[in-house]
Amino acid sequence: MFTGIVSGVGTLLERNGSRYSIASPYKRKSLQEGASVACDGCCLTVVAVSKAKGDGAVLAVDVSNETLASTTLGEWQAGRRINLERALALGEELGGHIVTGHVDGRAKVLARHEDGASVRFVLEAPAELAGFIAPKGSVALDGVSLTVNEADSNRFGVNVIPYTLTHTTWGDRAPGDLVNLEVDLLARYVARLAQHEGGRP
């Protein structure tokens, strides 16, 4: 379980088949094999940890065909910067919203423009996910918890503040980019209940 509050930005070092090696800012001793780390919003299991140059550690993760098909990971190349978040520990502050790390699909960045000190992005969601996105609701985009400003059909907008732009990869995002999208868990349950309203439980 995650919160959508990125705790570091890593870099993809290499891909060897389905195994990805990611340089992270995390201390080597703070990570164990079997730990869960959200990589651009995708929950992955650490299968190996090694010392990197400097103070960070290199994480090795295996990526399934299902993950490659439903996320942006299949397009990643060495050098890509990646939003990282450690799994939420019991008793820690829930600063964003409840994020499972189970990416629902990919959204496309349609527009980017300055909005005061922030940057406003307009995105297009897959048609089957658009109904789960509502104004003032939450979404996780590349692992970052963001509030939806407006939603119209399958398009929606978010504002990214300066801190988030500089402490995540959102400063790199541009029109045409694809990002990992996880819709709000509560919206999923509300939609499921609505489907069964008046029918069998």
What does the pLDDT look like over 35-73, one tens digit per residue?
A: 999 999 999 999 999 987 778 899 999 999 999 999 999
- The second-level CATH assignment, the architecture, of 8-86 is Beta Barrel (2.40)
Per-residue pLDDT band for 186 (boundaries 50, 70, 90) equals confident
The residues with which 44 forms a beta bridge, in sequence order, are 37
Q: Answer yes or no: same fold for 8-86 and 105-193.
A: yes
**What per-residue confidence (pLDDT) applies to 52?**
75
Distance CA 2, CA 6 (A): 9
CATH hierarchy code of domain 105-193: 2.40.30.20
Q: 5-22 as b/e, with b when 16 or more CB fall inside 10 Å?
A: bbbbbbbbbebeeeebbb
**Residue boundaries of the structural domains of the chain:** 8-86, 105-193
Cα dihedral across residues 118, 124, 129, 134: positive or negative: positive
More confident residue, 31 or 171: 171
Distance CA 13, CA 189 (A): 38
- The pair of three-digit structure tokens given for residue 96, joined into one six-digit string: 């964003």
**What per-residue confidence (pLDDT) applies to 201?**
47
198: pLDDT strictly greater than 70:
no
> DSSP alpha helices (H): ranges in the chain?
65-70, 127-130, 162-167, 185-195
Q: Please give the distance of CA 56 from its chain centroid, rounded to a whole number.
A: 21
Q: How many CB atoms lie within 10 A of CB 34?
A: 8
